A and B are shown apart, each in its own frame.
Chain A
Amino acid sequence: MSEHIVSLKVYFTIFIALMVGTALTVWAGLQDFPGPLNVIVALTIAVIKATLVVLYFMHVRYSSRLIWVVFASALFWLGILFALTFGDYWTRGWL
């Protein structure tokens, strides 16, 4: 597998972005958004941060198709966990 050299500039940029994300998380945690927005805001920040880590720190962006397939299958399994769990939560009120 060919090794992609990532420049320090990219690493530091991502690091700063993650730090900003962390600060945003803390700030959002102290706000009281209307309705379900509290969870949505927190999860959106978390997903963006996780995506940055996976793409740059874990080098998935520079990796082969195989790695993408492996990563996608993990996400698919996470989808199964969410789908069937929410299948319970969202239908509890139906009866």
Chain B
Amino acid sequence: MKAPETFETPAAERVNYINAQYGLKSWLLTKDHKRIGLLYLGSISFFFLIGGLYAMFIRLELLTPQGDFLSSATYNKVFTQHGIIMIFFFLIPSIPATLGNFLVPLMIGAKDLAFPRINLLSWYIYLLGGIITIYALLAGGIDTGWTFYVPYSTTFSNSYVIATGAGIFISGFSSILTGLNFIVTIHTMRAPGMTWFRMPLFIWAHYATSLIMILGTPVIAITILLLAFERLAHVGIFDPANGGDPVLFQHLFWFYSHPAVYIMVLPGMGIISELIANFSRKNIFGYSFVAFSSLAIAVFGFLVWGHHLFVASQSVYAGMIFSFLSFAVAIPSAIKVFNWTATLYKGSISYDTPMLYALGFIGLFTIGGMTGLFLAALAVDVHLSDTYFVVAHFHYIMVGGTLLAYLGGLHYWWPKITGRMYPEGWGRFSALTVFVGFNLTFLPQFIAGYMGMPRRYHAYPPEFQVFNVLSSAGASILGVGLLIPLIYLIWSMRYGKRAEANPWHLPGLEWRTPSPPPTENFLVTPVVTWEAYEFAPPEELRVIGMFREDEGLENADAVIDGKPT
């Protein structure tokens, strides 16, 4: 039974983007945004596994206070490579390049992104950057920390700084191209009737993310280039001996790398807006506030980088301004959290797997955000800088926020992407496992950090062992919780129940085309006559064109109540 109108073709003649062409060449030379999204999905999953492997080494080493598993030099490389792989090759491309690539055209009623060839090019650039970085890791690795701080990285480190930098420099261009593609597509390719304020909030979030990608990424590219010049030719921009300033590096690095946190979490917020509204079966509370808060985060996110430099000899006056601005960026984030919560109020909530991830996100992102305020306070930060408090804080944002949103979104759109349902029971079980494992891993780190345990050492005083044992135990649970979806999602591609066009019974455009969609997304150009998240009373649904005239209102009742009969 279909509720909202879909633009379907009969099953017998259905050709979709997966079976339209076969063979490796058809994938490697595809210009279809959906296939490119899947290419990205495979690549980032590969990098996630490598990054996870490094995380495992870190937690194994920290199980005991002595540095007995890895030498200090190896440990430096392990945490550096964990950070570089996870940030530049998993978190930054994770949601935009996979789900964003797949869904931006579908959700606005377009046939593809504006520049399909550039889209494919971005994947190859990403891959080239990834291969160069993997080469650097295999050749001997890098030990500077993912932040590449000078003068260690320019003068003293004997590891593969330039090769790794080259990999990141190159992969940055894929990020710029993706952002460019999204902005042009959202501006120029919306279906008739899809006005700016009818766009799903996922699209607003991706628009804001794209702005950061385009405006921020060139700065990290230039910074890496300067780092390489300094390392190779001692040009004297960062080295005080030649008239340079090491703090300048930190300014330039964080001008990109702080907004990069918003590149990671804003698309996640877009997913959460979708999940909360759709699994509460209610219009989102304060649509325009949620939409504009994405843009506000993108803009404010560029003004706060100096809070990474509070103890790096930055002027105390600059510190005060950056501290104030960092507090200010909490406002748009809080608007989102409050509006999601208000959306839940009196909603018809169903606890399917994606919703479990979304609810987990709200709690964990709130903890991550609130502990960010601790760190934005000048005096408190002096105590907490470079402790495990910081490590716990940013993992709550990056893992508790971005990773949970990514998993929630992946489950939510899995039926659309593959045409198969994932096993719901296993989905809920793994979502709960991830939540428990995550908290057990990172909550103790807040305490250890507050008590003074510094980050980036392979040995620590014995009084911190209890927190580290808890943390390592939690990491094992988290690891299992992440392996389960890997197994059942792959399983479901072949054996999962076939998904209908609109398994969740939602009004969004992407649910009005078959699962999986045809290559051209919509066989008929859709005309949008409804608002985003319009769960309207049944008598209105016919008027706004969500039902065919030959369908009775009893179907509409079923949609309003939740699952159809």
Contact = CB atoms under 8 A, between A and B. Distances in A.
A89 B315 contact: yes
Given A74-B215, A88-B309, A80 B315 contact: no
A94 B251 contact: no
B321 interface: yes
Given A74-B215, A88-B247, A88-B251, A80 B302 contact: yes
B22 interface: no
Greatest chain A CB density within 10 A among B247, B309, B318 is at B318
Interface string B288-322: 00000000000000110110010001111110011
A84 interface: yes
Contact of A88 (B219, B302, B303, B318): B318
A87 B255 CA distance: 14
A91 B322 CA distance: 13
Contacts of A87: 315, 317-318, 321
Given A74-B215, A77-B302, A94 B248 contact: no
Q: Is the interface of A mostly helix, strand, loop or mixed?
A: helix
Contacts of A4: none
A92 interface: yes
B317 A95 contact: yes
Interface residues of A, number: 15
Nearest to A66: B187
Contacts of B219: 81
A95 B321 CA distance: 15
Q: Is the interface of B mostly helix, strand, loop or mixed?
A: helix
B315 A95 contact: yes
A85 interface: yes
Contact of A84 (B215, B247, B316, B321): B321
Nearest to B251: A85
Nearest to A89: B315
A26 to B, nearest CB: 16
Contacts of B318: 84, 87-88, 91
Interface in B216-245: 219
Interface string A47-73: 000000000000000000000000001
Nearest to B322: A84
Contacts of A95: 315-317
A91 to B, nearest CB: 4
Nearest to B247: A88
Given A85-B251, A87-B321, A77 B306 contact: no
A77 B211 CA distance: 11
Contacts of A90: 315
